[in-house]
Amino acid sequence: MASSDRIVGIDLGTTNSLVAFMAEGSPVIIPGEDGSNLVPSVVALDENDKIIVGNAARKYLIETPDRSVYSIKRLMGRGLEDIQEELKLFPFHLADDLQPEEVLRIKLGSKTFTPPEISAFILRQLKRNAERFFGAAVSKAVITVPAYFNDAQRQATKDAGRIAGLEVVRLVNEPTAASLAYGLDKKQNGIVAVYDLGGGTFDISILRLHDGIFEVIATNGDTHLGGDDIDNLLIRIALDDIRGDLLMDLSRNGEAVATIRKAVIEAKIALSFQESVKLDIELAEGRRYRREITREQFEQLAAPVIDRTVGPCKQVLKDSNLRP
C-alpha cells in the first residue's frame, strides 16, 4: 500500500490514546517508543521548554504541575463558563488575559496553548509512532469522538488533527467504533446498546445492525461525565481529611493535588481486584496522609456518578421507542 493511501485509526481519549491500522481484517495497535500500546493523554513542558507527551510526561504532573496538563479532552470545544467547577481541581491554570468568549488557553510554564493545540501534541506523537512503525509518512487518520460531542467539540478535534499534520478523513462515533471492534458487524441483524463511560465523557447509543451495516437510531450522553469525576470525589475527600486532621489546606497546592490524584487513581484501580486498599501519601514537612478505603465505601462514593448515566440511558431508549 502506498503511504499516501494509508489511513490509521486514532482513539483520542481523555486518559489514554492509541493509534492502530487494519491488517487482514483485524485492527493492530501500534506501540509507542516505550513499547506500550497506550499513550497517556498527558502533555508537559520540560525545563528546556521541550514538549513531552505520554508516559514520559507523567512524572511532570507531580514534579512541575504548572508545566503539565491532562484530561484536555474535557476542555475541547468548551467555553470559560462551562468549566468553572473543573478548574477547582485541575492543577493547571488558564491564561490570565482570557476573555469570556475567547477560546480557552492553558498555561504551561510561561507559554499558553489552546485545547486543540495540546491535543495536537498527543496526535503528533501517535503520528510519529505510526511513521516509525511503517517507515513511511502518515498523513491521514480516522479519529473517534464521543457520540454526544457537539459541533464545536467535533470541530476542535478536527482542528487538532490539522495542527498535528493529519488529514482527518472522518470522525467516527466511539460507540460505533466499539461495536466494530467487538465484531458486531459480523452479525446479520439486531439492536445493540453501547454504554461508554470513559475518563471524561459518557455516551449511550442504540445501534441497529442490518446486513452488517450499522445505523445509529439514537444517542445521548454527557460530555462532562466520566472516571475523572470519581477521581475528583476521592481527591476532595483526601483534601478535606488533610485539612481537618492535619490542619493543612492543600487545595491550591498543585504538586500536592497531583500527588494525591496519582495515589487515588492507583487505589481506584486496585479496588477492582481487592476488597480494600490503604492510602499512604507523603506530604510536606515529612507528614503523611493515611486512610483505608474498602470496595463497599468506594462503590457508595461512585454511585452518584454512575447514577448520572441513568437519565441519558432512559432518554435514549425513549428516543428509540424501546423499553428496558
Number of other residues whose CB lies within 10 A of the CB of residue 234? 22
Closest CA to 293 of 256, 314, 266: 266
Q: In sequence order, what are the beta bridge partners of 68?
A: 44
> What are the helix and strand counts (H, E) for the chain?
9, 17
Which entry of 11, 117, 222, 228 is annotated as an active-site residue? 11
Q: In sequence order, what are the beta bridge partners of 190?
A: 209
Does residue 11 have an active-site annotation? Answer: yes
Q: Please classify residue 324 by burial: count the beta carbons closer than 10 Å to its beta carbon, then call 0-12 exposed, 13-18 middle and 19+ buried.
A: exposed
Which entry of 117, 159, 196, 231 is annotated as an active-site residue? 196
User: Whole-angstrom Cα distance, residue 76 to residue 82?
Assistant: 11
Q: In sequence order, what are the beta bridge partners of 112?
A: 107
Does residue 196 have an active-site annotation? Answer: yes
Characterise 228 by phi-psi region: left (phi > 0), alpha (psi -120 to 50), beta (else).
Answer: alpha
Note the helical H segments in 146-226.
151-163, 174-181
Which entry of 73, 127, 228, 231 is annotated as an active-site residue? 73
The x, y and z cell numbers of residue 137, run together, are: 509518512
Which entry of 117, 174, 222, 229 is annotated as an active-site residue? 174
User: Whole-angstrom Cα distance, residue 223 to residue 51?
Assistant: 27
User: Whole-angstrom Cα distance, residue 106 to residue 125?
Assistant: 20
Does residue 82 have an active-site annotation? Answer: no
Does residue 174 have an active-site annotation? Answer: yes
Tell me the catalytic residues: 11, 73, 174, 196
